[in-house]
Amino acid sequence: MIFTDFLKALGQMDDRAFRRVLFLGLGLTVALLVGVYAAWLALVGNFTAGPITLPFVGEVTWIGSLLGWGGLGVIILASIFLMIPVASAITSFFLEDVADAVEAKHYPDLMPAPKVPFSEAIIDTITFFGFLIGANLLAIIAYGFLPFFAVPIFFLLNGYLLGREYFTVAALRREGRVRAKQMARAHRAEIWMAGVLMAIPLVIPLMNLFIPILGAATFTHLYHRIAARSVTR
C-alpha cells in the first residue's frame, strides 16, 4: 500500500501546483543567493570606497574588484553544494499547497483543510531541518565506529525523520498537532517504512530536489489511508 501511495504521488508530479512549489523553491533560492552576493558587494564597497595603502606596495585600487569577483566565485561554488538543500528547505514552506492539490484530485469530496499559519509552518520547517542536520552530523560519528552499517544507519535515520515530518505535515492540517502526533506514534512502523522510501532518492543528485514535494504527496495519501482505517474500526 505504501508503494501505491508513492506511485499515486509520482503520477501527479506534473500537476501545476507541484510545479509551482518546485519553481517557487528554486526561484527563491536563486533570489537568496543573488541577495547574499549583493549584500557582499555593498559591504565591500563600503570598506573599499577609496584607495587602500598596503605595506611595501603603496596605494592600490583593485582590492574592491578582487573581493567582488572573489565573492562571486564563492557564491557560485557554494551554490553547487547549497542549491539543492536550500531549495528543498524553501520548498518545504509550501508543502500545504501540495497536500491541497493531492486532496483536490484524489479526495474531492473533502472540505478544504484549514490553513496552518505561515509562521507555524516556518518554525516547523526550520526545526525539522535543524533536527535533520544535527542528527546526520551525529550519525557521522556512528559511521566512523560502524562503517559497515553506515548505509543502513543513513537510510533508517533519515527515513524516520522524513516520515515523521511529512506525516505531520499531512495530518496536522485536518487533525491538529496533538492528534497528528498520536497518529504518528500509533502507526510509527508504517510511517517509518514510507520515510525510508523517501530517503532513498536523497543520494541521487537533482532527484533529491523533488523529495519534499513527492514526500508531501505520498504522505497525504498515507494519512488518508490511516484516517480511513481509524474511522472503520
Across 16-30, 63-77, 109-123, least confident range: 63-77
Between 120 and 149, whose confidence is greater? 149
Residue 132 domain boundaries: 2-232
| pLDDT value at residue 167 | 92
Does 170 score more than 70 pLDDT?
yes
| pLDDT value at residue 187 | 93
- Please name the residue ranges forming H helices in the chain: 2-11, 16-47, 63-91, 95-106, 118-145, 150-186, 188-199, 211-232
| pLDDT value at residue 62 | 47
Does 197 score more than 70 pLDDT?
yes
186 near 164, Cβ under 8 Å?
Answer: no
Does 67 score more than 70 pLDDT?
no
Does 231 score more than 50 pLDDT?
yes
Between 39 and 12, whose confidence is greater? 12
Cβ contacts of 98 within 8 Å, gap of 6 or more: 17, 18, 21, 213, 216, 217, 220
- Count the domains in the chain: 1
**Neighbour tally for 196: CB within 10 Å:** 19
Q: How far apart (Å, rounded) are the C-alpha atoms in residues 76 and 74?
A: 5
Which residues in 174-189 are b (16+ Cβ under 10 Å) and which e? Answer: bbeeeebbebbeebee
| Average pLDDT of the residues in 176-204 | 88
- Give bridge partners of residue 54 from the DSSP assignment: 58
| pLDDT value at residue 57 | 47
| Average pLDDT of the residues in 94-122 | 86
| pLDDT value at residue 199 | 85
How big is the chain, counted in residues?
233
Across 94-98, 223-227, 228-232, least confident range: 228-232
- Give bridge partners of residue 59 from the DSSP assignment: 53
Closest C-alpha to 85, from 215, 214, 212: 212
- Percent of the chain predicted with pLDDT > 90: 15
For the entire predicted model, the pTM comes to: 0.75
